[in-house]
């Protein structure tokens, strides 16, 4: 593949240099359909450019067989091949007026022309999507999508939200739709090169079209199609994306020297004697082993100090960077053909991606796509489509954090010896035990952190098919019927092979080995060989839809109505099993006894489970929906939309299974009015929607349900069940009202255009955990009840400007979003105590944002002890129990602000000159807070997790003036650590500005023959370029305060179309 | 016009087929494993969930009684709640805890009992239906009884009608508020429910994980013993043993191994299995055995090697009756019933019957041929022997806390003391703190009274 890449590159360079010396100048003029001259049209030929003057005339060096490209913002682009050098007249065809032009929103049910839309939509077009490079399509929405916030919150695993939340404990993920139906499964199955555009549905119109699953917004992905009577077009795109090794220095572990200091202290306190006495021989760190040797007189104090000194100078991150991490390399190739003849069109594409990650983990994707449309008779159009994806993943090396001692992340471990050979590590058992256990009769019990990955491999192979058939039947003029069917089938095989040389397998076999010391015979409950765990997951989804569309226009009236019904069945199943003593060469397997417990080498016992596991889940939905719009004099539009869904959820009586949703909207094209005279803004439109939706959580219901375990009880051998959901008769539906008002506008010549939108959301009876008297015994101290109300509002502002529009162009796009939410009611039980928050989950404080940061009030460090102090009866105190129990109202906490940005958005600047185009995209998040991690001494002692803040801790009186980090005390006090972790000093302002990506591309177009052009694009892209500005003084990226930052990536690519 | 008609027919057809088939279409279960319990077997499945019904016994009482001690190093490794429980000061603990563990079993029983209301008892399902109902009652009584022993004062017929007992939950609706019943009501509920269960249950169960009539008798004997109503206790201990009174000869066991009766084996003395949850802080492995008690075992007494194992810092309990190393068995077994019967006989002055039971038991515990029969000349003498053997035999069986409480009521004057570092903590007989405190969050939420300090 690399050589072909080189060929293309060579060809490209030749194309650049192959400019002939012009021997003649071509004269000409450019006119519109009425013959009036067009000024300012740009003419390009090879590397030469010219612009028409006020008389529409131009002159450019050119001769026969040169190809000419004429562009003007108000007209369709034209290309022609010169036959001779005679002056020519070029007719340009006017483009439909800007903004009322080609934009068509695809809602998944219909294509809605922008001028008829009353709701809130954001469309990201193909060229914007192509500004970013990568494997996944959703990532390309970063920095370019109005109203969409990318952030990490523990209770929203998707990592992005559209206009904040309208539920507190309900599902948070926006609905993903590919073409006409919701997409289930991994969206990385869709190759970004096959995507034409993306429409984001943001307001009540979304839910009233898509049902309650759309409460968090809808992302409609429209794939590329051919067009009828379109000449064959071949497109090719290839790119390489690279990234260096992850920057581990961003992480803030405790220094090795400090770490050893703490270990020395604990050793002197006798902390490790419990470990030494433990019959399971738990692992101890190298430093502690040295201290034991010193105590036992096996090593001299001086010798131990020298060795500790050496360890103190080590940083395991260096080893990871040196021995484990590699550069990342992603390759992407795609090829597509599209075209159409009379009565038919097609789009065929193939894509191949190969990503090699920093840990030599692999991802491979092959996508094959074929869509056809035929029109056998004039009033029937039939489309078929097939989208097939094969995904393969394979695990790689073990990354930072995996080499531990007894799960303690000791910072000075060696991954390799002085010669770079893989080192051994006592990760679970003490070295003294692993060296001598079984006197050589057991398997090697050492762990090799650099090698183990070769013997413990996870891989997956998944195949996903999306097949669809749609029929559009024009019954009579103005009335058509759509019949759609889609089948989605997924199949994923996962496999984890831990061969006999993996630590995991050796450890398992040894653990279940019995050694007869007199005869030396080893009895093994687990046969020698690999441990193989295989899983198979399958899914099948059937979607059917029948929809009637009617439209009529008479006089000043225009009416468009559609109604339909939909049926959906999805089924997913799975099975998995574990085999022991597996031989991957011969495909033979051993057996274990799953019924009886087996003694362990340490004198305990355990079970070996190898029974298969099966699952089978089905969801069914039936929906009826309809919507309509009436437009009067092309100025006033009224629209309405309603939907009812039913599903096979448990415990819902049939009546409750039906979920009604509706929305209504109106728009007014103000600039169409006769009285409208503002020439600065020739286009101005007002639109608004209001809607109602409800939400019932799939997992909470009105009857008690039980679930049976797959395997019988070990002792009684009886199959048994657990309670899955409990009878919760008081639960009502969540209700959400949404209001949206917006203006679309454009100045003369679209120098400035955009939209300003304001929205309000009101949620009532929202679900939330409410504390209960757990004497009820449901296995939890909370139940889901309708506990909360919330309100939210915000602005979505999108401005586009053409700052310079000559030969050198400078266009800007500004996205400004605000989002404010607050809890307006929340039931809390009497006696609830309040404490600081991380802002990672919903804060139930009335009048405060849904995600808010509160702190325990801070009274400084105690000048005598370095204890963190809070307030009890307004006096400084280190009675943490009294502080925690005294906080009986949220007023006793310090409120900082929201943990999601109040203002966020992006600024994109595009500069272009001739074919050269540079885009710089900046994203920002402003006015919010985040909580930093700091040292927790309980964590340090109990789990060995340190933090660099330790170095800055209070150590002697006076230190309280320079630091807020408490002194180290032992025994540790969990309440003290907790108080500090959630106190005022660990909060920082999260505002920041980020350089999201820079894209540089060079386009070149050449006409091939009449009406056909070929274009080549060469592009460079750099993403995740880091922060430009941040409010916090701790060097932290507020988007990843405790983890690695997103890696800077660089891509180079080439695109061609013929 | 024809086209319109065709369309109308088509639309009607679509609507009719969709709406009629809709109900059936939507009745498919979303997850094949998950179902609304609708058969007796479904409910039996819930009761067979040993992790909830058999292996969730609490240890708060074990931690508070005098069978184990913690060295300073062990005390250091305790959680704050464990530390406070060890020194009888645990007034501040929250979810999750022993209280919540006990009531999980109660909830399952209540779901089953409520579920039975919707299932008709027919000729075909009658025996299974009865078994499920009787079992659910027995399981709920086990939880109620343990809760009463732990969180209430000792039953005293003078004050039982005033002393706060426990929450008697009898519905699966968690929205219901339930107050603390009195101690009198608590015990009468337990006895009443066990009486109802007796005719419903089989004499012997399919497996000792399940309740049986024998188990119900045994529980009644336990209940009456803790109420110090010895005649009724004697009656039910006798009925229990009449179903089966087999004992294991400890000479037959593999005493040196850590599983003297075999791994995961419930030996033939077990009437019904109940044990401490595996993930629950078990004193068995973490704490050490009271050394004063250890000294009372005769060198020929096999119970010492069967029950205990030496560690560098003392003796560790093997937990042999649970079949899982270090895990405390709290279920019913014949040895307990024999000791209970002997005690009741001794208290009634029937010295011969009492000493016969003791001698029959100990013969199975000593090295064959070495046991010298014990005798007592007075009932009081017999009682002393029986109570000491009770301690030695029923070590860590979840009974000691109840025994200390009732025996102190009889005037035994047992004083508990702990030494942590240089601080000594003591618990005097019949102190308020013998009713361990309820979780703080429950007190705050429901306003039910906390036990006095």
Using pLDDT thresholds of 50, 70 and 90, give the confidence band for residue A776.
confident
Using pLDDT thresholds of 50, 70 and 90, give the confidence band for residue A23.
low
B7: chain A residues, CB-CB within 8 Å: 475, 479, 481
- Alpha-carbon span B43 to B32, nearest angstrom: 17
Of the ranges A81-85, A289-293, A1054-1058, B190-194, which one carries the lowest mean pLDDT score? A81-85
| Closest to B143 (Cα-Cα) out of B120, B110, B95 | B110
Mutual orientation of helices A301-312 and A286-295 as an angle, nearest 10°? 170
Residue A671: per-residue pLDDT: 87
Q: What are phi and psi of A1036, to 5 degrees?
A: -100, 145
User: The complex's ipTM?
Assistant: 0.87
Helix-strand-coil percent breakdown of chain A, rounded to 5?
15, 45, 40
Instruction: Give ∠ CA A127-A133-A136 in degrees, rounded to 5.
Output: 100
Do β-strands A175-178 and A181-182 pair in parallel, antiparallel, or remain unpaired?
A: antiparallel
Per-residue pLDDT tens over the stretch B264-310: 778 999 999 999 876 555 677 778 899 899 999 999 999 999 999 88
- Can you read off the two tokens belonging to residue B311? 């560690």
- Alpha-carbon span A905 to A886, nearest angstrom: 41
User: Does B7 touch chain A if contact means CB atoms closer than 8 Å?
Assistant: yes
| Closest to A570 (Cα-Cα) out of B283, B31, B79, B313 | B31
| Greatest Cα-to-Cα distance within chain B, rounded to the nearest angstrom | 114
Using pLDDT thresholds of 50, 70 and 90, give the confidence band for residue A449.
very high
Residue B79: closest C-alpha in chain A: A974
Q: What is the mean pLDDT of residues A822-838?
A: 81
Check whether A873 has a pLDDT greater than 60.
Answer: yes
Distance (Å) from the C-alpha of residue A405 to the closest C-alpha of chain B?
19
Do β-strands A557-582 and A613-632 pair in parallel, antiparallel, or remain unpaired?
A: antiparallel
Q: Kindly determine whether residue B111 and residue A723, on different chains, have CB atoms separated by under 8 Å.
A: yes
Per-residue pLDDT tens over the stretch A450-467: 999 999 999 999 999 999
Check whether A100 has a pLDDT greater than 80.
Answer: no
Q: Which of A516-520, A717-721, A1054-1058, B431-435 has the largest mean confidence?
A: B431-435
Of residues A1011 and A143, the one with the higher pLDDT is: A143
Within the 190-229 window of chain B, which residues sit less than 8 Å (CB to CB) from chain A?
A: 206-207, 209-210
Do β-strands A25-31 and A88-91 pair in parallel, antiparallel, or remain unpaired?
A: parallel
Q: State what percent of residues in chain B have pLDDT above 70.
A: 94
B322: chain A residues, CB-CB within 8 Å: none
- Alpha-carbon span A443 to A501, nearest angstrom: 9
B441: chain A residues, CB-CB within 8 Å: 771, 781, 831
- Alpha-carbon span A204 to A208, nearest angstrom: 6
Q: CA-CA-CA-CA torsion for B312, B314, B317, B318, nearest 10 degrees?
A: 30
Q: What is the mean pLDDT of residues A620-631?
A: 90
Per-residue pLDDT tens over the stretch A370-425: 999 999 988 999 999 999 999 999 999 999 999 999 889 999 999 998 888 889 88
Q: Which residue has the tokens 């069917």?
A: A485
The sign of the CA dihedral A887, A891, A896, A899 is: positive
Per-residue pLDDT tens over the stretch A225-269: 888 888 888 999 999 999 999 999 999 999 999 999 999 999 998
Check whether A3 has a pLDDT greater than 50.
Answer: no
Beta-carbon pairs below 8 A across chains A and B:
220
- Alpha-carbon span A274 to A288, nearest angstrom: 13
- Alpha-carbon span A788 to A735, nearest angstrom: 11
Residue B1: per-residue pLDDT: 52
Report whether B319 contacts B329 (CB < 8 A). Answer: yes
Per-residue pLDDT tens over the stretch B22-62: 667 777 777 777 778 889 999 999 999 999 999 988 888 88
Burial A678-691 (b: 16+ CB within 10 A, else e): eeebbbbbebbbbb
Count of residues in chain B: 453
Of residues B235 and B72, the one with the higher pLDDT is: B235
Residue B19: per-residue pLDDT: 59
Residue A707: closest C-alpha in chain B: B34
Q: Reduce the DSSP state of residue A679 to 3 states and report it.
A: coil
Distance (Å) from the C-alpha of residue A1040 to the closest C-alpha of chain B?
32
- Alpha-carbon span A569 to A622, nearest angstrom: 9
Q: What are phi and psi of B292, to 5 degrees?
A: -65, -45
Check whether A6 has a pLDDT greater than 50.
Answer: no
Report whether B242 contacts B341 (CB < 8 A). Answer: no
Residue B4: per-residue pLDDT: 61
Residue B23: per-residue pLDDT: 67
| Closest to B228 (Cα-Cα) out of B427, B411, B380 | B411
A825 strand-pairing partners: A789
- Alpha-carbon span A618 to B28, nearest angstrom: 8
Provide CB contacts within 8 A for B131, sequence distance 6+: B44, B200, B201, B202, B210
A58 strand-pairing partners: A28
Check whether A7 has a pLDDT greater than 60.
Answer: no
Per-residue pLDDT tens over the stretch A966-1020: 999 988 888 899 999 999 999 999 999 999 999 999 998 877 766 667 889 999 9
Residue A535: per-residue pLDDT: 93
- Alpha-carbon span A79 to A76, nearest angstrom: 10
Residue B309: closest C-alpha in chain A: A603
Report whether A586 contacts A521 (CB < 8 A). Answer: no
Query: Which of B49, B74, B442 is the closest to A775 by Cβ?
Result: B442
DSSP letter at A655 equals H
| Closest to A58 (Cα-Cα) out of A78, A85, A29 | A29
| Closest to A309 (Cα-Cα) out of A252, A253, A256, A249 | A256
DSSP B38-65: -SHHHHHHHHT-HHHHTS-B--HHHHHS
Query: Which of B99, B103, B263 is the closest to A596 by Cβ?
Result: B263
Of the ranges A200-204, A244-248, A258-262, B410-414, which one carries the lowest mean pLDDT score? A200-204
| Closest to B185 (Cα-Cα) out of B220, B235, B144, B225 | B144
Helix-strand-coil percent breakdown of chain B, rounded to 5?
50, 10, 40
Q: What is the mean pLDDT of residues A773-785?
A: 84
Q: How far apart are the first and last CA of chain A?
A: 21
Within the 298-317 window of chain B, which residues sit less than 8 Å (CB to CB) from chain A?
A: 311-313
- Can you read off the two tokens belonging to residue A219? 């992302």
B170: chain A residues, CB-CB within 8 Å: none
Residue A374 burial (CB count, 10 A): 15
Query: Which of B42, B92, B258 is the closest to A706 by Cβ?
Result: B42
Provide CB contacts within 8 A for B183, sequence distance 6+: B148, B152, B153, B155, B156, B159, B160, B161, B163, B164, B165
Per-residue pLDDT tens over the stretch A642-667: 988 877 765 555 445 556 788 999 99
Using pLDDT thresholds of 50, 70 and 90, give the confidence band for residue A12.
very low
Using pLDDT thresholds of 50, 70 and 90, give the confidence band for residue A98.
very low
- Alpha-carbon span A896 to A934, nearest angstrom: 18
Using pLDDT thresholds of 50, 70 and 90, give the confidence band for residue A695.
low
Taking the mean position of all CA atoms in its chain, how far away is CA A645? 28
Of residues A1054 and B255, the one with the higher pLDDT is: A1054
Check whether A8 has a pLDDT greater than 60.
Answer: no
* Residue A795: Cβ-neighbour burial (10 angstroms; 0-12, 13-18, 19+): middle
DSSP letter at B366 equals B
Distance (Å) from the C-alpha of residue A864 to the closest C-alpha of chain B?
25
Cα→Cα distances A627→A27, A268, A276, A621, B181, Å: 55, 76, 73, 19, 59
Query: Which of A279, A479, A720 is the closest to B49 by Cβ?
Result: A720
Query: Which of B29, B48, B74 is the closest to A716 by Cβ?
Result: B48
- Alpha-carbon span B340 to B393, nearest angstrom: 12
- Alpha-carbon span A624 to A603, nearest angstrom: 64
Q: What is the mean pLDDT of residues A1026-1055?
A: 92
Q: Reduce the DSSP state of residue B312 to 3 states and report it.
A: coil
Average pLDDT, rounded, for chain B: 90
Report whether A647 contacts A629 (CB < 8 A). Answer: no
A738 strand-pairing partners: A691, A761
A761 strand-pairing partners: A738, A792
Query: Which of A598, A708, A830 is the closest to B33 by Cβ?
Result: A708
Residue A1: per-residue pLDDT: 41
- Alpha-carbon span A598 to A608, nearest angstrom: 8
- Alpha-carbon span B212 to B29, nearest angstrom: 34
Cα→Cα distances B359→A594, B246, B362, B364, B386, Å: 41, 14, 5, 9, 10
Provide CB contacts within 8 A for A113, sequence distance 6+: A103, A104, A105
- In a 13 Å sphere around the CA of A680, the CA atoms on its Cβ side amount to 1
Cα→Cα distances B77→A262, B82, B153, Å: 18, 9, 30
- In a 13 Å sphere around the CA of A503, the CA atoms on its Cβ side amount to 19
- Alpha-carbon span B41 to A715, nearest angstrom: 19
Using pLDDT thresholds of 50, 70 and 90, give the confidence band for residue A16.
very low
Cis link prior to A971 (omega < 30° from 0)? yes
Q: State what percent of residues in chain A have pLDDT above 70.
A: 93
């Amino acid at each position: 593949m690399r050589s072909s890449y080189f060929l293309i590159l060579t060809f490209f360079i030749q194309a650049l240099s192959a400019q002939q010396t012009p021997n003649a100048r071509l004269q000409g003029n450019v006119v519109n359909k009425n013959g009036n001259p067009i000024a300012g049209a740009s003419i390009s030929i090879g590397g030469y450019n010219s612009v028409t003057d006020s008389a529409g005339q131009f002159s450019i060096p050119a001769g026969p067989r040169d190809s000419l490209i004429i562009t003007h913002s108000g007209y369709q682009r034209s290309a022609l091949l010169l036959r001779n050098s005679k002056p020519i007249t070029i007719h340009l065809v006017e483009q439909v007026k800007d903004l009322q032009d080609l934009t068509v929103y695809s809602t998944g049910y219909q294509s809605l022309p922008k001028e008829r839309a009353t709701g809130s939509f954001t469309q990201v077009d193909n060229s914007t999507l192509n500004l970013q490079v990568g494997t996944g399509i959703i990532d390309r929405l970063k920095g370019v999508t109005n109203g969409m916030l990318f952030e990490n919150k523990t209770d929203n695993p998707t990592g992005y939200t559209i206009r904040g939340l309208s539920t507190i404990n309900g599902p948070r993920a926006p609905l993903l739709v590919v073409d006409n139906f919701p997409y289930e499964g991994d969206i990385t199955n869709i190759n970004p090169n096959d995507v034409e555009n993306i429409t984001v549905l943001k307001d009540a119109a979304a839910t009233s079209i898509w049902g309650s699953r759309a409460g968090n917004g809808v992302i409609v992905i429209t794939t590329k199609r051919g067009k009828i009577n379109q000449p064959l077009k071949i497109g090719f795109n290839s790119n390489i994306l690279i990234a260096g090794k992850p920057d581990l220095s961003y992480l803030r572990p405790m220094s090795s020297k400090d770490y050893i200091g703490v270990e020395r202290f604990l050793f002197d306190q006798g902390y490790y004697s419990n470990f030494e006495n433990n019959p399971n021989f738990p692992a101890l760190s190298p430093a502690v082993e040295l201290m034991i040797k010193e105590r036992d007189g096996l090593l001299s104090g001086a010798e131990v100090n020298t060795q500790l000194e050496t360890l103190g100078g080590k940083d395991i991150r260096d080893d990871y960077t040196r021995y484990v991490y590699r550069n990342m390399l992603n390759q992407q190739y795609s090829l597509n053909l599209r075209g159409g003849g009379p009565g038919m069109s097609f789009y065929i594409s193939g894509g191949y991606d190969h990503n090699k990650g920093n840990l030599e983990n692999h991802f491979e994707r092959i996508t094959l796509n074929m869509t056809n449309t035929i029109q056998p008779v004039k009033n029937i159009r039939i489309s078929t489509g097939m989208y097939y994806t094969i995904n393969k993943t394979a695990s790689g090396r073990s990354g930072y954090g995996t080499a531990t001692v007894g799960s303690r992340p000791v910072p000075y471990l060696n991954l390799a010896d002085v010669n770079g050979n893989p080192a051994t590590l006592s990760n679970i058992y003490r070295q003294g035990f692993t060296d001598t256990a079984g006197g050589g009769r057991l398997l090697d019990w050492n762990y090799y952190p650099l090698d183990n990955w070769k013997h413990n491999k996870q891989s997956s192979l998944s195949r996903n098919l999306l097949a669809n058939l749609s029929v559009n039947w024009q019954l009579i003029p103005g009335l058509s019927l759509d019949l759609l069917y889609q089948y989605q089938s997924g199949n994923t095989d996962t496999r984890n092979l831990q061969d006999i040389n993996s630590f995991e397998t050796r450890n398992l076999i040894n653990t279940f080995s019995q050694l007869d010391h007199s005869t030396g015979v080893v009895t093994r409950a687990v046969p020698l060989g690999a441990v193989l765990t295989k899983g198979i997951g399958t899914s099948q989804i059937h979607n059917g839809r029948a929809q009637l569309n009617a439209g009529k226009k008479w006089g000043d009236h225009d009416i468009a109505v559609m109604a339909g019904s939909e049926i959906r069945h999805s089924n997913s199943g799975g099975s998995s099993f574990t085999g022991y003593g597996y031989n991957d060469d011969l495909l033979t397997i051993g057996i274990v006894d799953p019924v009886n417990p087996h003694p362990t080498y340490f004198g305990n016992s355990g079970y070996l489970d190898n029974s298969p596991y099966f699952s089978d889940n089905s969801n069914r939905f039936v929906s009826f929906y309809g919507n309509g719009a009436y437009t009067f004099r092309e100025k006033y539009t009224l629209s309405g939309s309603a939907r009812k869904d039913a599903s096979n959820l448990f415990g819902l009586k049939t009546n409750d299974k039906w979920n009604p949703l509706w929305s209504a909207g109106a728009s007014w094209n103000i600039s169409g009015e006769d009285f409208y005279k503002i020439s600065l803004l020739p286009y101005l439109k007002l639109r608004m929607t209001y809607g109602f939706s409800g939400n019932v959580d799939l997992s909470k219901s009105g009857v008690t349900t039980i679930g049976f375990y797959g395997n019988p009880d070990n002792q009684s051998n009886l199959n048994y069940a657990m309670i899955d959901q409990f009878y919760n008769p008081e639960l009502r539906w969540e209700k959400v009202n949404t209001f949206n008002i917006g203006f679309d506008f454009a100045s003369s010549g679209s120098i400035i255009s955009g939209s300003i939108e304001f929205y309000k959301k009101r949620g009532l009876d929202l679900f939330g955990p409410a504390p209960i008297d757990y004497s009820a015994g449901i296995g939890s101290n909370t139940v889901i009840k309708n506990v909360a109300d919330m309100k939210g509002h915000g602005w979505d502002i999108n401005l586009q400007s053409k700052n310079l529009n000559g030969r050198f162009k400078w266009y800007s796009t500004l996205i400004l979003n605000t989002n404010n939410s607050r809890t307006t009611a929340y039931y809390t039980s009497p006696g609830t105590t309040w404490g600081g928050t991380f802002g990672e989950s919903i804060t139930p404080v009335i009048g405060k944002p849904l995600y808010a940061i509160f702190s325990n009030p801070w009274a400084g460090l105690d000048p005598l002890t370095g204890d963190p102090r809070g307030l009890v009866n307004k006096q400084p105190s280190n009675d943490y129990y009294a502080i925690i129990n005294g906080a009986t109202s949220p007023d006793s906490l310090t409120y900082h602000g929201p943990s999601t940005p109040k203002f966020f958005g992006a600024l994109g600047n595009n500069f272009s000159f001739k074919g050269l185009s540079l885009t710089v995209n900046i994203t920002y998040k402003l006015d919010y807070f985040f909580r930093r991690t700091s040292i927790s001494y309980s964590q340090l002692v109990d789990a060995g997790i340190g933090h660099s803040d330790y170095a800055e801790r209070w150590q002697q009186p006076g230190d309280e003036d320079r630091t807020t980090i408490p002194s180290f005390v032992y025994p540790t006090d969990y309440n003290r650590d907790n108080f500090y972790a959630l106190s005022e000093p660990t909060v920082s302002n999260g505002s920041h500005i980020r350089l999201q990506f820079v894209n540089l591309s060079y386009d070149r177009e050449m006409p091939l023959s009449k009406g056909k052009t070929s274009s080549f694009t060469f592009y460079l892209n750099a993403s995740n370029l880091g922060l430009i500005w941040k409010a916090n003084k701790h060097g932290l990226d507020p988007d990843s305060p405790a983890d690695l930052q997103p890696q800077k990536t660089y891509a180079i690519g080439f695109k061609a179309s013929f | 016009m024809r086209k319109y008609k065709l369309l109308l027919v088509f639309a009607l057809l679509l609507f009719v087929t969709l709406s009629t088939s809709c109900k059936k279409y939507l009745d498919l279960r979303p997850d094949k494993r998950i179902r609304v319990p609708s058969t007796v077997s479904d409910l039996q499945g819930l009761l067979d969930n040993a992790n909830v019904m058999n292996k969730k016994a609490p240890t708060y009482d074990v931690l508070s009684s005098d069978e184990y001690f913690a060295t300073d190093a062990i005390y250091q490794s305790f959680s704050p709640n464990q530390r406070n429980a060890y020194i009888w000061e645990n007034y501040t603990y929250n979810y999750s805890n022993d209280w919540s563990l006990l009531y999980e079993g109660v909830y399952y029983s209540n779901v089953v009992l409520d579920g039975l209301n919707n299932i008709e008892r027919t000729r075909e399902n009658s025996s299974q239906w009865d078994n499920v109902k009787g079992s659910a009652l027995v399981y709920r009584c086990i939880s109620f009884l343990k809760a009463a022993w732990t969180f209430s004062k000792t039953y005293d017929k003078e004050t039982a009608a005033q002393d706060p007992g426990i929450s008697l939950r009898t519905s699966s609706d968690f929205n219901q508020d339930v107050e603390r019943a009195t101690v009198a009501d608590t015990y009468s509920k337990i006895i009443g429910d066990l009486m109802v269960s007796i005719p419903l249950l089989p004499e012997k169960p399919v497996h000792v994980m399940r309740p049986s009539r024998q188990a119900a008798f045994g529980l009644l004997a336990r209940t009456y013993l803790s109420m110090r109503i010895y005649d009724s206790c004697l009656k039910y201990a006798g009925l229990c043993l009449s179903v089966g009174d087999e004992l294991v000869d400890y000479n037959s066991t593999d005493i040196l191994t850590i599983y003297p009766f075999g791994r995961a084996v419930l030996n033939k003395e077990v009437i019904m299995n109940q044990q401490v949850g595996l993930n629950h802080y078990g004193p068995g492995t973490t704490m050490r055995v009271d050394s004063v008690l250890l000294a009372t075992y005769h060198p020929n007494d096999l119970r010492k090697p069967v029950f205990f194992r030496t560690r560098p810092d003392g003796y560790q309990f093997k937990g042999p009756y649970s079949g899982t190393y270090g895990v405390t068995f709290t279920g019913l077994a014949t040895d307990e019933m024999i000791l209970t019967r002997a005690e009741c006989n001794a208290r009634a002055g029937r010295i011969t019957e009492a000493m016969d039971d003791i001698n029959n038991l100990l013969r199975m515990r000593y090295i064959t041929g070495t046991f010298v029969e014990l005798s007592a000349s007075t009932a009081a003498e017999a009682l002393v022997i029986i109570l000491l053997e009770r301690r030695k035999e029923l070590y860590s069986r979840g009974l000691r806390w109840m025994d200390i409480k009732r025996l102190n009521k009889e005037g035994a004057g047992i004083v508990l003391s702990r030494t942590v570092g240089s601080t000594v903590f003591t618990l005097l007989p019949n102190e308020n703190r013998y009713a361990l405190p309820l979780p703080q969050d429950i007190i705050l939420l429901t306003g039910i009274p906390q036990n006095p300090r």
